[in-house]
Amino acid sequence: MTSLSLELDLSLSINIQLSFEGVSFDKFNLNIKQDLSLQGITGIFGHSGSGKSTLLRAIAGLEKEIDGTIVLNDTSLIDNKKKCFIKAEHRNIGLVFQDSRLFPHLNVLDNLKFAAKRCKNRRLNFNEIIELTELGSLLHKHVNDLSGGQKQRVALARAILAEPELLLLDEPLSALDRQAKTSLLKLVLKIQNELQLPMLYVSHSLDELQQVCDKLLVLSQGKVIGYDGIHPMIHQLNHTQDNIAQTNDFIHQQTSLSLPIKTLDNGHGLATLTLSEHDEIYLPVLDENSTEKTLRCFILASDISISLTEPINSSIVNHLFAKISTISTMKNKVLITALCKKDDGEQEFFINISAFSQQKLALKINQGVYLQFKASAVRTYLY
C-alpha cells in the first residue's frame, strides 16, 4: 500500500487573533503565532478553554470571525489584509469531530461514498480504505446502530476518503471507553504509517497524545506556551505551573519515553524494554502479535521512589541507578530530575517525593541514587 502515499512535507503558518464575547463567561482571546512543520502527527494540547478546538476550527475554515493569516503550504487560507478567506469546502482539509457527525439518513457505505464522490484526486482505493479501517462488516448498517468506537472509525474512514492534504482530529476519542480508545489510536497510527497523511490531533488528554504524536503544541488561555518534540515538550511541561489554578501542576508530572522492545513476554508475566546495555525496564506483558520495535510509554513522577541503596530485596522489579540533576520544591512536594546512562546518551527521569522524604534523605544534586518503580507503573495505551 506504499503507493497510496499522499503529501509528505507540509508546513502550516498561523498568525491569528480572535476575540469572543462569551455570554456566560469572560471575553475569550485567541492569539497564536506559530509555524508548524507537519510531518507525522502533531498534537495540540491544552486544558478546556485553552483555544485548541477553536484553533483547529480556524484551520478548518469553520471559524469565520478571524483576524490574521493562515498559510498552508504557500496557499493562503485566510488573509485579512487581502480579504482572502477560502471556504472550508475548498481547503482540502479533513476533520474528524468528537461526535462523529455521520449523516443519519445514510448507511455506513453511503456515508463513505458521500466523501469519495466529492473527492477530486481519487488516488486512494475505496476498498483498500475499507479494509484498512476494518469496516467491511459494517457497510450496510445504519449509523445509529453503531457503537461509539465504530462511529469514529467510520468518521475517520470518511475523512480519509476525501483525500485531504491535512487531517484534523478534534478530541476523537473523548466519548469512547478505554478499549475503543486503544483500538482507534492504533488505527490512527496505522493510517499515518500507510498513507503518510499529516495530522493535527487536538486533545485535553496528554496520555492519548503521548502515544501517537511526534510533536506537541501546547496552548494555555489562547496562547502558545510551547512547541517541541513529544518527549522534550512533556518534560518541559513538568516544570510548568498552571496559571489558572496556581496550586496545581499543568500536567501529571511524568517521564515520557520511547524505548526498543526486547521481549514481549519473558515467561513470567513481564515484557522488557532496553534502556542501555546494562539496564532494562520491566512492564506488564505486551500483545504477542505486536510487530512494533519500539514502545511509547510514560511513568508518572509520583510512581517512582528513590532509594539510597540498591533495593535488591524488593518485589519492585525496576531499579535504575541515576544521578540527581535538579531538585525543585513547591509547597510540600519536591520534583527531582535524575539522569540514567543510556547507550546513546542519557535518559532523564522525573520523580516526585514529599518534602518529608527530602528532609530525611537530604538529597543533593549530582548524588547517585536508585530509582525504583513497579512494572505496572510503566504505562502505555496501545496494549
Partner 1 sequence: MINPDLLALLTTLKMAALTTIILLIIGTPLAWYLAKMRSRFKVIIEAIVALPLVLPPTVLGFYLLIAFSPQHLPGQLWQQATGQQLAFSFSAIVIGSVLYSMPFVVQPLQKAFEQLGEPLLEAGAMLGANAMDRFFNIVFPITKASFITAASLGFAHTVGEFGVILMIGGNIPGETRVLSIALFDHVEAFDYAKAHILAISLLAGSMVLLASIYLLNSPRKKAIKRIGK
CA 303 to chain centre: 21
* Coil, helix or strand at residue 314: coil
Residues 6+ apart with CB under 8 A from 25: none
Of 107, 113, 115, 71, give the one whose Cα is nearest residue 91: 71
List the one residue from 4, 10, 86, 88 that touches partner 1 (CB under 8 A). Answer: 88
Contact positions with partner 1 (CB under 8 A) in 44-73: 60-62
User: What count of other Cβ atoms lies within 10 Å of the Cβ of residue 138?
Assistant: 21
Residue number with CB closer to partner 1 (120 or 178): 120
List the one residue from 42, 50, 92, 347 that touches partner 1 (CB under 8 A). Answer: 92
Q: Does residue 24 bind partner 1 (CB under 8 A)?
A: no
Contact positions with partner 1 (CB under 8 A) in 142-181: 142, 158-159, 162
Span of 66-74, 83-91, 266-274, 337-345 interacting with partner 1 by CB under 8 A: 83-91
Residue number with CB closer to partner 1 (104 or 136): 104
Q: Does residue 105 bind partner 1 (CB under 8 A)?
A: yes
Q: Measured on CA atoms in the order 101, 106, 108, 109, is the torsion positive or negative?
A: negative
Q: Does residue 27 bind partner 1 (CB under 8 A)?
A: no
- Tell me how far, at minimum, the Cβ of 88 lies from partner 1, in Å: 4
Helices assigned H by DSSP within the chain: 52-60, 108-117, 126-132, 148-161, 178-195, 206-212, 230-237, 355-361
* 15: its cell numbers: 498568525
Q: Does residue 109 bind partner 1 (CB under 8 A)?
A: no
User: What count of other Cβ atoms lies within 10 Å of the Cβ of residue 168?
Assistant: 25
**Between 281 and 320, how does the x/- string for binding to partner 1 read (CB under 8 A)?**
----------------------------------------
Phi/psi at 67 (5° precision): -105, 140
Q: Does residue 114 bind partner 1 (CB under 8 A)?
A: yes
Tell me the site size for partner 1, rule CB under 8 A.
28
Residue number with CB closer to partner 1 (88 or 139): 88
